[in-house]
């Protein structure tokens, strides 16, 4: 439908943003494919919002170029970019009715009156708010307001949908519902979406691609499975999910796996796609969910299983699963999570944490 379909929808080339001396975004290169759902994930202050605002035209890059459909847009003012934007606090115009809010963007696109009506009503139906046109934003709940904001953004058929933490103002239950709604809508319309969040669950559940950021730098870029299971560095592994980090030194290879001597004297066998050499300082990453918790009587004796005996010092019930903190003999603590069993372990009980080699990954210790 566009003249040059080979270009990514959005492209960053060496984009840098500085506020006075503070660097918000550092040398960013990123392609966002047509129709994809890309999430910028990171803690607050990592530059993800700044990046989004540069696409929107609300901030100017200090260096580098941004392209939309292959066209450099650095100097294109915001109102000529054809983007749909969703804000954290909805940003519905309080003095306009829902209908006028949704119709706002069409007014500047020379759409005939009769068509405006049809399209606005269509958009409101899409977000399951038909017949709400005459109300004012203040009469709607937070979730409804965000759905109107969504309708307002998609009714103009934007090239890119930009969402800046759109769910964080909603309460927990609503957030889940809204998350699915955005996801469905995006798939149905096939609109390229750039989503900003600090919530890993949102990122993992919705995205085609996740870009993990920290201090203005891209830490890793990949599918949700990639960034979760094959975290590129300590930060990504730590930010996504609950990870344990065990420091050690490589002893040698054992088949496909690598054997590591841990700092506390124990040994660990870790699957590794990478080649390690004896003496390499490494950090083994083990997700809390990957541990099996056994009482010390039922330990299997298997070569490729790692076991960590210890005592439960803290235990918290979290509904579907139980979170345990197990103290080893050398006082280091391992965090393990497991599905609720018929008999949960109690605090003070001696247990053994078991984890298969393939669930242990090695990262270079820096």
Partner 1 sequence: MFRISGWSLIRLYTLLVYIFMFAPIVAVVILSFNPQQFGSFPMQGFSFQWYLKLVQNEAILSAFKNSLLLGSLTAVTVTAVAIPAAMAFVRYDFPGKNTLNTLLLTPIMIPEVVLGVALLLFIRWLQQPKSFLLLLMGHVVITLPYVLLVVQARLVGIKRVYEEAAMSLGANPLQTFKEITLPLLTPAVLAGMLFSFTISFDDVTATLFWATAQNQTVPVKIFGMLRNSISPEINALGTVMIVLTISTPLIAGYLIRKFARGGTIN
- What's the rounded Cα separation, in Å, for the pair 303 and 268? 10
The three-class DSSP label of residue 339 is: strand
**Number of residues engaging partner 1 in binding (CB under 8 A):** 31
Contacts 24+ apart (CB under 8 A), 343-350: 344/315, 344/317, 345/293, 345/295, 345/312, 345/315, 346/312, 346/315, 347/312, 347/313, 347/314, 347/315, 348/311, 348/312, 348/313, 349/295, 349/311, 349/312, 350/295, 350/296, 350/309, 350/310, 350/311
Taking the least distance from each CB to partner 1, the nearer of 62 and 323 is 62
Give the nearer residue to partner 1 in terms of CB position, either 47 or 57.
57
Q: Which string of x and - marks every residue 56-75 that binds partner 1 (by CB under 8 A)?
A: xxx-----------------
The three-state secondary structure class of 145 is helix
Q: How far is the CB of 171 from partner 1 (least distance, A)?
A: 18
Query: What character string, x for contact with partner 1 (CB under 8 A) and - otherwise, covers 90-119?
Result: -x-xxx--------xx-xxx----------
- Residue 168 structure tokens: 């964080």
C-beta closer to partner 1: residue 77 or 265: 77
Q: Which of 77, 265, 279, 348 binds partner 1 (CB under 8 A)?
A: 77
Which residue number, 2 or 139, has a Cβ lying nearer to partner 1?
A: 139
Does residue number 81 form part of the binding site for partner 1 (CB under 8 A)?
Answer: yes
User: How far is it, in rounded angstroms, from Cα 329 to Cα 332?
Assistant: 7
Tell me which of 23, 33, 35, 82 binds partner 1, using CB under 8 A: 82
Among 47, 61, 84, 166, binds partner 1 (CB under 8 A): 84
**41, 46, 148, 156: which one contacts partner 1 (CB under 8 A)?**
156
Q: Residue from 24, 25, 66, 85 that binds partner 1 (CB under 8 A)?
A: 85
Binding mask 10-49 for partner 1 (x = CB under 8 A): ----------------------------------------
Structure tokens at 255: 């088949």
Q: Is 152 in the site for partner 1 (CB under 8 A)?
A: yes
Whichever of 71 and 201 has its CB closer to partner 1, that residue is: 71
312: closest CA among 322, 302, 299, 321? 322
DSSP strand pairing (160-164 vs 83-86): parallel
Which phi-psi region, left, alpha or beta, contains residue 237 (left: φ > 0; alpha: ψ -120 to 50)? alpha
Q: How many whole angstroms from its chain centre is CA 250? A: 32
Give residues in contact with partner 1 (CB under 8 A).
56-58, 77-85, 87, 89, 91, 93-95, 104-105, 107-109, 136, 138-139, 149, 152-153, 156, 162
């Amino acid at each position: 439908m566009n003249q040059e379909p080979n270009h990514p929808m959005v492209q960053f080339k060496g984009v840098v943003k500085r506020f006075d001396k503070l660097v918000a975004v550092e040398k960013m290169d990123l392609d966002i494919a047509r129709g994809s759902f890309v999430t910028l994930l990171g803690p607050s202050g990592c530059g993800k919002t700044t990046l989004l605002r540069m696409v929107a035209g609300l901030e100017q890059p200090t260096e580098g170029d941004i392209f939309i459909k292959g066209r450099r847009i650095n100097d294109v003012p915001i109102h000529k970019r054809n983007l749909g934007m969703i804000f954290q606090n909805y940003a519905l115009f309080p003095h306009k009715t829902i209908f006028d809010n949704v119709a706002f963007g069409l007014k500047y696109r020379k759409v005939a009156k009769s068509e405006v009506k049809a399209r606005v009503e269509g958009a409101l139906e899409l977000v399951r708010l038909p017949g709400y046109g005459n109300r004012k934003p203040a009469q709607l709940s937070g979730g409804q307001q965000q759905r109107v904001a969504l309708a307002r953004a998609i009714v103009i058929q934007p090239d890119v949908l930009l969402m800046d933490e759109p769910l964080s103002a909603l309460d927990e239950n609503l957030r889940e519902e809204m998350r699915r709604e955005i996801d469905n809508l995006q798939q149905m319309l096939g609109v390229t979406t750039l989503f900003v969040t600090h919530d890993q669950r949102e990122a993992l559940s919705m995205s085609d691609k996740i870009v993990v950021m920290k201090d203005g730098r891209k830490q890793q870029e990949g599918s949700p499975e990639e960034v979760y299971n094959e975290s590129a560095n300590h930060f990504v592994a730590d930010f996504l999910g609950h990870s344990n980090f065990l420091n050690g030194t490589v002893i040698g290879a054992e088949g496909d796996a690598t054997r590591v001597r841990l700092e506390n004297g124990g040994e660990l066998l870790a699957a590794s796609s990478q080649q390690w050499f004896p003496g390499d300082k490494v950090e083994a990453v083990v997700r809390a969910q990957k541990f099996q918790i056994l009482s010390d009587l039922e330990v299997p004796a298997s070569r490729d299983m790692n076991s960590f005996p210890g005592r439960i010092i803290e235990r918290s019930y979290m509904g579907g699963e139980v979170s345990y903190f197990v103290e080893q003999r050398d006082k280091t603590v391992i965090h393990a999570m497991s599905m609720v069993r018929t008999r949960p372990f109690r605090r003070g009980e001696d247990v053994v944490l078991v984890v298969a080699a393939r669930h242990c990954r090695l990262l270079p210790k820096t």
